[in-house]
Amino acid sequence: MICLGIEGTAHSIGVGIIENNRRKCIVLSNIIKIYRPKQGGIHPREAANHHAIHLADLIKESINVAGVDFNKIDLISFSQGPGLGPCLRTAATAARALSLSLKKPIMGVNHCVAHLEIGRGTLDECKDPVLLYTSGANTQVIAFAEGKYRVFGETLDIGIGNCLDKFGRKIGLEFPCGPKIEKLAEKGNQYLELPYSIKGMDIAFSGLLTASEQYYQKNKRLEDICFSIQETTFAALTEITERAMAHTDKDEVLLGGGVASNKRLRDMVHKMAEDRGARFFVPSKDLCIDNGAMIAWLGILMYNNGIRLKVEESYIDQRFRTDMVDVSWRD
Ligand code: ATP
Ligand code: FE2
Protein backbone atom coordinates (compact mmCIF):
# COMPACT_ATOMS: atom_id res chain seq x y z
CA MET A 1 0.00 0.00 0.00
CA ILE A 2 1.22 3.52 -0.82
CA CYS A 3 -0.04 6.53 1.11
CA LEU A 4 0.43 10.25 0.52
CA GLY A 5 0.37 12.22 3.77
CA ILE A 6 -0.13 15.96 4.21
CA GLU A 7 1.07 17.68 7.37
CA GLY A 8 -0.03 21.22 8.15
CA THR A 9 -0.55 21.85 11.85
CA ALA A 10 1.58 24.97 12.28
CA HIS A 11 4.74 26.46 10.66
CA SER A 12 5.44 23.56 8.37
CA ILE A 13 3.65 22.22 5.36
CA GLY A 14 4.83 18.81 4.29
CA VAL A 15 3.96 16.10 1.81
CA GLY A 16 5.37 12.62 2.30
CA ILE A 17 4.83 9.33 0.53
CA ILE A 18 5.22 6.02 2.32
CA GLU A 19 5.11 2.52 0.96
CA ASN A 20 4.06 -0.24 3.29
CA ASN A 21 5.61 -3.45 2.13
CA ARG A 22 5.38 -6.58 4.30
CA ARG A 23 4.63 -4.36 7.31
CA LYS A 24 7.79 -2.31 6.66
CA CYS A 25 7.66 1.46 6.50
CA ILE A 26 9.55 2.72 3.46
CA VAL A 27 9.87 6.50 3.04
CA LEU A 28 9.66 7.23 -0.70
CA SER A 29 9.65 11.01 -0.30
CA ASN A 30 9.25 13.61 2.41
CA ILE A 31 9.16 17.22 1.24
CA ILE A 32 8.85 20.00 3.82
CA LYS A 33 8.52 23.75 3.52
CA ILE A 34 8.63 26.00 6.57
CA TYR A 35 6.85 29.33 6.96
CA ARG A 36 9.18 31.84 8.61
CA PRO A 37 7.49 35.04 9.77
CA LYS A 38 9.55 38.16 8.92
CA GLN A 39 9.13 39.34 12.47
CA GLY A 40 7.21 38.32 15.57
CA GLY A 41 5.52 34.99 16.16
CA ILE A 42 3.42 32.84 13.87
CA HIS A 43 0.28 34.41 12.43
CA PRO A 44 -2.10 31.50 11.73
CA ARG A 45 -3.68 33.08 8.63
CA GLU A 46 -0.37 34.06 7.09
CA ALA A 47 1.00 30.59 7.75
CA ALA A 48 -2.12 29.08 6.13
CA ASN A 49 -1.68 31.34 3.09
CA HIS A 50 1.92 30.23 2.82
CA HIS A 51 0.79 26.59 2.93
CA ALA A 52 -1.94 27.17 0.33
CA ILE A 53 0.52 28.83 -2.06
CA HIS A 54 3.06 26.00 -1.87
CA LEU A 55 0.96 22.89 -1.40
CA ALA A 56 0.25 22.03 -5.04
CA ASP A 57 3.96 22.24 -5.92
CA LEU A 58 4.93 20.21 -2.87
CA ILE A 59 2.51 17.46 -3.85
CA LYS A 60 3.98 17.33 -7.37
CA GLU A 61 7.54 17.36 -6.01
CA SER A 62 6.77 14.60 -3.54
CA ILE A 63 5.26 12.46 -6.32
CA ASN A 64 8.33 13.10 -8.52
CA VAL A 65 10.86 12.30 -5.81
CA ALA A 66 8.96 9.13 -4.88
CA GLY A 67 8.92 8.12 -8.55
CA VAL A 68 5.32 6.97 -8.37
CA ASP A 69 2.32 7.87 -10.45
CA PHE A 70 -0.77 9.47 -8.92
CA ASN A 71 -2.75 6.35 -9.80
CA LYS A 72 -0.40 4.24 -7.62
CA ILE A 73 -1.46 6.13 -4.47
CA ASP A 74 -3.87 3.99 -2.43
CA LEU A 75 -4.65 6.34 0.44
CA ILE A 76 -4.59 10.06 1.30
CA SER A 77 -3.81 10.97 4.90
CA PHE A 78 -3.76 14.36 6.63
CA SER A 79 -3.05 15.86 10.04
CA GLN A 80 -6.48 16.32 11.61
CA GLY A 81 -5.14 18.07 14.74
CA PRO A 82 -4.06 19.41 17.13
CA GLY A 83 -2.88 22.66 15.61
CA LEU A 84 -3.83 26.06 14.25
CA GLY A 85 -7.28 26.12 12.61
CA PRO A 86 -6.43 27.90 9.35
CA CYS A 87 -3.34 25.72 8.78
CA LEU A 88 -5.21 22.48 9.52
CA ARG A 89 -8.04 23.51 7.21
CA THR A 90 -5.63 24.15 4.33
CA ALA A 91 -4.07 20.69 4.63
CA ALA A 92 -7.46 19.02 5.07
CA THR A 93 -8.93 20.79 2.03
CA ALA A 94 -6.07 19.63 -0.16
CA ALA A 95 -6.42 16.07 1.18
CA ARG A 96 -10.17 16.04 0.43
CA ALA A 97 -9.59 17.38 -3.08
CA LEU A 98 -6.99 14.68 -3.77
CA SER A 99 -9.14 11.96 -2.26
CA LEU A 100 -12.14 12.93 -4.38
CA SER A 101 -10.27 13.49 -7.63
CA LEU A 102 -8.17 10.30 -7.35
CA LYS A 103 -11.16 8.38 -5.92
CA LYS A 104 -9.00 7.09 -3.06
CA PRO A 105 -9.93 6.82 0.62
CA ILE A 106 -9.01 9.53 3.09
CA MET A 107 -7.70 9.24 6.65
CA GLY A 108 -7.36 11.92 9.33
CA VAL A 109 -4.64 11.33 11.92
CA ASN A 110 -3.48 12.73 15.23
CA HIS A 111 -0.27 14.69 14.77
CA CYS A 112 1.30 13.77 18.15
CA VAL A 113 0.62 10.05 17.69
CA ALA A 114 2.22 10.31 14.22
CA HIS A 115 5.46 11.56 15.83
CA LEU A 116 5.57 8.39 17.91
CA GLU A 117 4.54 5.93 15.22
CA ILE A 118 7.15 7.11 12.70
CA GLY A 119 9.82 6.25 15.28
CA ARG A 120 8.39 2.76 15.74
CA GLY A 121 7.95 2.40 11.98
CA THR A 122 11.43 3.42 10.85
CA LEU A 123 13.69 2.39 13.74
CA ASP A 124 13.95 -1.40 13.83
CA GLU A 125 14.50 -1.98 17.52
CA CYS A 126 12.08 0.70 18.68
CA LYS A 127 8.96 -1.20 19.75
CA ASP A 128 7.34 0.30 22.83
CA PRO A 129 9.00 3.60 23.68
CA VAL A 130 8.23 6.49 25.96
CA LEU A 131 8.21 9.45 23.57
CA LEU A 132 9.60 12.80 24.65
CA TYR A 133 7.94 15.05 22.09
CA THR A 134 9.45 18.52 22.08
CA SER A 135 8.49 21.00 19.39
CA GLY A 136 7.44 24.63 19.17
CA ALA A 137 3.88 24.36 20.46
CA ASN A 138 4.01 20.89 22.01
CA THR A 139 5.90 19.38 24.90
CA GLN A 140 4.56 16.01 26.00
CA VAL A 141 5.76 12.72 27.42
CA ILE A 142 3.66 10.03 25.74
CA ALA A 143 3.52 6.25 26.14
CA PHE A 144 1.20 3.39 25.26
CA ALA A 145 -0.93 2.06 28.11
CA GLU A 146 -4.22 0.15 28.05
CA GLY A 147 -5.12 0.68 24.42
CA LYS A 148 -4.23 4.37 24.18
CA TYR A 149 -1.30 6.69 23.88
CA ARG A 150 -1.45 8.49 27.18
CA VAL A 151 0.13 11.78 28.05
CA PHE A 152 2.05 11.19 31.27
CA GLY A 153 3.49 14.66 31.46
CA GLU A 154 3.21 17.89 29.52
CA THR A 155 3.85 21.58 29.62
CA LEU A 156 1.43 23.58 31.72
CA ASP A 157 2.10 26.76 29.75
CA ILE A 158 4.21 27.03 26.59
CA GLY A 159 6.12 24.44 24.56
CA ILE A 160 9.89 24.22 24.98
CA GLY A 161 10.50 25.34 21.36
CA ASN A 162 8.22 28.31 21.93
CA CYS A 163 10.16 29.18 25.08
CA LEU A 164 13.44 29.15 23.12
CA ASP A 165 11.92 31.10 20.23
CA LYS A 166 10.46 33.73 22.56
CA PHE A 167 13.75 34.26 24.32
CA GLY A 168 15.54 34.32 20.97
CA ARG A 169 13.17 36.94 19.62
CA LYS A 170 13.81 39.07 22.69
CA ILE A 171 17.54 39.09 21.98
CA GLY A 172 17.06 39.72 18.25
CA LEU A 173 17.53 36.24 16.77
CA GLU A 174 15.56 35.10 13.73
CA PHE A 175 13.08 32.22 13.86
CA PRO A 176 13.76 29.36 14.44
CA CYS A 177 15.85 30.42 17.44
CA GLY A 178 16.53 26.98 18.98
CA PRO A 179 19.58 26.18 16.80
CA LYS A 180 21.07 29.67 17.38
CA ILE A 181 20.59 29.36 21.14
CA GLU A 182 22.27 25.94 20.96
CA LYS A 183 25.34 27.53 19.28
CA LEU A 184 25.52 30.30 21.89
CA ALA A 185 25.07 27.80 24.73
CA GLU A 186 28.14 25.85 23.54
CA LYS A 187 30.23 28.88 24.52
CA GLY A 188 28.61 29.30 27.93
CA ASN A 189 30.45 28.19 31.03
CA GLN A 190 28.80 29.85 33.99
CA TYR A 191 25.49 28.51 35.25
CA LEU A 192 22.97 31.19 36.22
CA GLU A 193 20.23 30.12 38.60
CA LEU A 194 16.84 29.69 36.85
CA PRO A 195 13.46 28.42 38.11
CA TYR A 196 13.11 24.66 37.66
CA SER A 197 9.41 23.91 37.74
CA ILE A 198 8.12 20.38 37.70
CA LYS A 199 4.75 19.42 39.11
CA GLY A 200 4.42 15.65 39.20
CA MET A 201 5.26 14.77 35.61
CA ASP A 202 4.19 18.15 34.24
CA ILE A 203 6.50 21.04 33.52
CA ALA A 204 6.33 24.83 33.08
CA PHE A 205 8.61 27.28 31.31
CA SER A 206 7.19 30.79 31.61
CA GLY A 207 8.90 31.58 34.95
CA LEU A 208 12.21 30.54 33.48
CA LEU A 209 11.56 32.64 30.39
CA THR A 210 10.92 35.77 32.49
CA ALA A 211 14.00 35.14 34.64
CA SER A 212 16.15 34.65 31.50
CA GLU A 213 14.88 37.93 30.06
CA GLN A 214 15.80 39.65 33.32
CA TYR A 215 19.35 38.31 33.09
CA TYR A 216 19.51 39.71 29.58
CA GLN A 217 18.35 43.13 30.77
CA LYS A 218 21.03 43.01 33.46
CA ASN A 219 23.62 42.43 30.72
CA LYS A 220 24.62 38.95 31.85
CA ARG A 221 26.74 37.15 29.26
CA LEU A 222 24.39 35.89 26.54
CA GLU A 223 26.29 32.61 26.12
CA ASP A 224 25.86 31.92 29.85
CA ILE A 225 22.13 32.68 29.76
CA CYS A 226 21.61 30.34 26.79
CA PHE A 227 23.73 27.66 28.48
CA SER A 228 21.66 27.99 31.66
CA ILE A 229 18.34 27.88 29.77
CA GLN A 230 19.37 24.65 28.05
CA GLU A 231 20.79 23.02 31.17
CA THR A 232 17.68 23.82 33.21
CA THR A 233 14.91 23.07 30.73
CA PHE A 234 16.56 19.93 29.32
CA ALA A 235 17.30 18.55 32.79
CA ALA A 236 13.64 19.04 33.69
CA LEU A 237 12.50 17.36 30.44
CA THR A 238 14.85 14.46 31.09
CA GLU A 239 13.55 14.14 34.63
CA ILE A 240 9.88 13.91 33.65
CA THR A 241 10.76 11.43 30.89
CA GLU A 242 12.61 9.25 33.38
CA ARG A 243 9.66 9.41 35.77
CA ALA A 244 7.31 8.26 33.00
CA MET A 245 9.68 5.39 32.13
CA ALA A 246 9.78 4.28 35.76
CA HIS A 247 6.02 4.66 36.11
CA THR A 248 5.19 2.66 32.97
CA ASP A 249 8.10 0.24 33.40
CA LYS A 250 9.34 0.80 29.83
CA ASP A 251 12.93 0.45 28.73
CA GLU A 252 12.94 2.45 25.50
CA VAL A 253 12.94 6.19 25.02
CA LEU A 254 12.27 7.98 21.74
CA LEU A 255 12.75 11.65 20.89
CA GLY A 256 10.54 13.58 18.47
CA GLY A 257 9.81 17.18 17.48
CA GLY A 258 12.09 19.96 16.24
CA VAL A 259 13.91 20.43 19.56
CA ALA A 260 15.09 16.79 19.34
CA SER A 261 17.76 18.11 16.92
CA ASN A 262 19.50 19.64 19.92
CA LYS A 263 22.67 17.76 20.80
CA ARG A 264 22.62 18.69 24.47
CA LEU A 265 19.04 17.42 24.88
CA ARG A 266 19.94 14.20 23.06
CA ASP A 267 23.01 13.68 25.24
CA MET A 268 21.09 14.20 28.47
CA VAL A 269 18.28 11.82 27.56
CA HIS A 270 20.74 9.28 26.15
CA LYS A 271 22.76 9.34 29.37
CA MET A 272 19.61 8.93 31.46
CA ALA A 273 18.60 5.92 29.32
CA GLU A 274 22.05 4.34 29.64
CA ASP A 275 21.99 4.76 33.40
CA ARG A 276 18.65 2.90 33.50
CA GLY A 277 19.80 0.18 31.11
CA ALA A 278 17.23 1.46 28.58
CA ARG A 279 17.58 2.01 24.83
CA PHE A 280 17.63 5.46 23.25
CA PHE A 281 16.18 6.28 19.82
CA VAL A 282 15.94 9.35 17.67
CA PRO A 283 14.62 9.38 14.08
CA SER A 284 16.46 11.28 11.31
CA LYS A 285 15.94 15.04 11.46
CA ASP A 286 13.37 15.22 8.64
CA LEU A 287 11.26 12.61 10.46
CA CYS A 288 11.61 14.42 13.81
CA ILE A 289 10.31 17.79 12.66
CA ASP A 290 6.74 18.17 11.40
CA ASN A 291 6.54 16.15 8.19
CA GLY A 292 4.13 14.45 5.81
CA ALA A 293 5.81 11.02 5.94
CA MET A 294 4.76 10.45 9.55
CA ILE A 295 1.19 11.42 8.66
CA ALA A 296 1.23 8.96 5.75
CA TRP A 297 2.56 6.13 7.94
CA LEU A 298 -0.06 6.58 10.66
CA GLY A 299 -2.73 6.73 7.93
CA ILE A 300 -1.55 3.31 6.71
CA LEU A 301 -1.56 1.80 10.22
CA MET A 302 -5.11 2.99 10.83
CA TYR A 303 -6.44 2.01 7.41
CA ASN A 304 -4.91 -1.46 7.60
CA ASN A 305 -6.67 -1.84 10.92
CA GLY A 306 -10.07 -1.32 9.38
CA ILE A 307 -10.52 2.32 10.39
CA ARG A 308 -12.41 4.36 7.78
CA LEU A 309 -13.27 8.05 7.44
CA LYS A 310 -15.84 9.59 5.13
CA VAL A 311 -14.83 12.78 3.32
CA GLU A 312 -17.94 14.52 4.68
CA GLU A 313 -16.82 13.63 8.22
CA SER A 314 -13.20 14.65 7.79
CA TYR A 315 -13.38 17.67 10.08
CA ILE A 316 -10.29 19.11 11.64
CA ASP A 317 -9.96 19.25 15.42
CA GLN A 318 -7.73 22.00 16.79
CA ARG A 319 -7.73 20.37 20.23
CA PHE A 320 -7.37 16.76 19.14
CA ARG A 321 -5.87 15.14 22.27
CA THR A 322 -3.34 12.35 22.03
CA ASP A 323 -5.41 10.13 24.35
CA MET A 324 -8.60 10.55 22.27
CA VAL A 325 -7.22 8.09 19.69
CA ASP A 326 -8.27 4.47 19.98
CA VAL A 327 -4.99 2.72 19.17
CA SER A 328 -6.52 -0.45 17.80
CA TRP A 329 -3.49 -1.25 15.61
CA ARG A 330 -1.41 -2.18 18.68
CA ASP A 331 -1.91 -5.18 20.92
P1 ATP B 1 4.39 21.58 16.34
O2 ATP B 1 3.18 21.98 15.57
O3 ATP B 1 4.54 20.11 16.44
O4 ATP B 1 4.51 22.26 17.66
P5 ATP B 1 6.51 23.19 15.13
O6 ATP B 1 5.89 24.01 14.09
O7 ATP B 1 7.00 23.85 16.33
O8 ATP B 1 5.63 21.95 15.47
P9 ATP B 1 8.95 21.55 14.69
O10 ATP B 1 9.66 21.55 13.40
O11 ATP B 1 8.63 20.24 15.28
O12 ATP B 1 7.72 22.45 14.39
O13 ATP B 1 9.85 22.33 15.77
C14 ATP B 1 10.30 23.63 15.61
C15 ATP B 1 10.91 24.08 16.92
O16 ATP B 1 12.15 23.38 17.14
C17 ATP B 1 11.25 25.56 16.95
O18 ATP B 1 10.78 26.08 18.16
C19 ATP B 1 12.77 25.59 16.91
O20 ATP B 1 13.36 26.70 17.58
C21 ATP B 1 13.13 24.30 17.59
N22 ATP B 1 14.45 23.78 17.23
C23 ATP B 1 14.89 23.39 16.00
N24 ATP B 1 16.19 23.02 16.06
C25 ATP B 1 16.58 23.15 17.37
C26 ATP B 1 17.81 22.93 18.07
N27 ATP B 1 18.90 22.50 17.45
N28 ATP B 1 17.81 23.18 19.40
C29 ATP B 1 16.70 23.61 20.04
N30 ATP B 1 15.54 23.85 19.43
C31 ATP B 1 15.46 23.63 18.11
FE1 FE2 C 1 4.97 18.28 15.68
What are the pLDDT digits (tens) for 172-204? 998 899 999 999 999 999 999 999 999 999 999
Q: How far apart are CA 62 and CA 57, in angstroms?
A: 8
Q: How far apart are CA 179 and CA 323, in angstroms?
A: 31
Q: How does the average pLDDT of the chain come out, rounded?
A: 97
| Res. 303 pLDDT band, cuts 50 70 90 | very high
Residue range 236-283, pLDDT digits in tens:
999 999 999 999 999 999 999 999 999 999 999 999 999 999 999 999
Pocket mutation for ligand 1, best pick of 164, 174, 232 (most atoms within 8 Å of C-beta): 164
Tell whether 132 and 272 lie within a shared domain. yes
Pocket mutation for ligand 1, best pick of 7, 9, 11 (most atoms within 8 Å of C-beta): 11
Tell whether 183 and 138 lie within a shared domain. yes
Find out whether the beta carbon of 165 lies less than 6 Å from any atom of ligand 1. yes
Tell whether 301 and 319 lie within a shared domain. yes
Tell whether 108 and 150 lie within a shared domain. no
Question: pTM here?
Answer: 0.96
- In the predicted structure, residue 23 carries a pLDDT above the cut 90: no
In the reported structure, the alpha carbon of residue 186 is separated from the centroid of ligand 1 by a whole-number distance in angstroms of 19
Find out whether the beta carbon of 257 lies less than 6 Å from any atom of ligand 1. yes
Pocket mutation for ligand 1, best pick of 267, 290, 320 (most atoms within 8 Å of C-beta): 290
Distance separating the N- and C-terminal Cα atoms of the chain: 22
Domain around 67: 2-116+287-324
Average pLDDT over residues 38-64: 93
Tell whether 30 and 87 lie within a shared domain. yes
Instruction: Give the total number of structural domains in the chain.
Output: 2
Tell whether 112 and 203 lie within a shared domain. no
Is residue 122, in this structure, part of any structural domain at all? no
| Res. 11 pLDDT band, cuts 50 70 90 | very high
Indicate which CATH number applies to the domain containing 174.
3.30.420.40
Is residue 121, in this structure, part of any structural domain at all? no
Give the residue, by CA position, lying nearest to ligand 1 atom 30: 178
Q: How far apart are CA 44 and CA 133, in angstroms?
A: 22
Tell whether 269 and 301 lie within a shared domain. no
Percent of the chain with pLDDT over 90: 96
Helical pair 178-186 and 160-170, crossing angle rounded to 10 deg: 70
Tell whether 255 and 278 lie within a shared domain. yes
Q: What's residue 113's pLDDT?
A: 97
**Cβ-based burial of 307 (10 A; exposed 0-12, middle 13-18, buried ≥19):** middle
What are the angstrom distances between the C-alpha of 162 and each of 22, 40, 194, 209, 313?
Answer: 39, 12, 17, 10, 32
In the reported structure, the alpha carbon of residue 326 is separated from the centroid of ligand 1 by a whole-number distance in angstroms of 27
Average pLDDT over residues 68-74: 97
Q: How far apart are CA 99 and CA 272, in angstroms?
A: 44
Tell whether 85 and 184 lie within a shared domain. no
Average pLDDT over residues 295-312: 97
Percent of the chain with pLDDT over 70: 100
**Which ligand does the CA of 44 lie closest to?**
1
Find out whether the beta carbon of 262 lies less than 6 Å from any atom of ligand 1. yes
- In the predicted structure, residue 37 carries a pLDDT above the cut 90: no
Closest ligand 1 atom to residue 112 Cα is 3
Find out whether the beta carbon of 76 lies less than 6 Å from any atom of ligand 1. no
Is residue 156, in this structure, part of any structural domain at all? yes
Average pLDDT over residues 279-291: 97
Tell whether 20 and 162 lie within a shared domain. no
Find out whether the beta carbon of 177 lies less than 6 Å from any atom of ligand 1. yes
Tell whether 217 and 251 lie within a shared domain. yes
Is residue 59, in this structure, part of any structural domain at all? yes
